[in-house]
Amino acid sequence: MEFDYVIAGGGSAGSVLAARLSEDPSVSVCLVEAGSEGRDPITRAPAAVGLTASINKRTNWAFKSEPQPALNNRPGYQPRGKALGGSSAINAMLYVRGHPSDYDHWAESGAKGWAYADVLPYFKKSEDHYAGADDIHGSGGEWRVERQRLSWEILDAFRAVAH
């Protein structure tokens, strides 16, 4: 078979890219993912994050870093999703962008185009935030961001300190 585009990796970015490219009916797009469809019950239950991020080799590449001096020369564990949805399939259904200062630091260190102001429009374009669009959120994008549906005292306390 021949395709106009072949995208390796069905994680969040690869899936969005494939969806956007396939909006043009004149092109053909092939999305290749090494892992599962991400429909396992274990990947669809946020409370199972301990299993998906540790032992489930079907949905987790379970990489290890090189030995790290700051870890007494032990390797660091790097769980990475191996399923449609990528690491979003194993991260307890959290939507996390990173802190604006992280992006600004990258840009200051030479990563031109990676300042927060540069990447924010792309986050907003990809997002379908439950409260609609505002200065930092988008609506109508591929990533549906929902309000937390369950309330536990510990979760509410965590959210309060995170704001």
Residues 6+ positions from 94 with CB-CB distance below 8 Å: none
- The neighbouring-strand residues paired with 67 are 75
Query: Which among 95, 78, 90 has a CA at the least distance from the CA of 130?
Result: 95
At residue 46, φ and ψ (nearest 5 deg) are -55, -35
Which of these, 9, 38, 11, 45, lies nearest to 143 by C-alpha position? 11
Q: What CA–CA distance (Å, rounded) separates 5 from 144?
A: 25
**What's the pLDDT at 155?**
79
pLDDT digit string, tens, across residues 76-118: 988 888 989 888 888 877 788 899 999 999 999 999 999 999 9
Amino acid letter for position 28: S
Reported as a single tens digit per residue, the pLDDT across 13-72 is 899 999 999 999 999 999 999 988 878 777 777 666 766 666 677 888 989 999 999 999
In this prediction, residue 69 carries a pLDDT of 96
Tokens of residue 113, six digits: 């185009």
Report the SS3 class of residue 54: coil
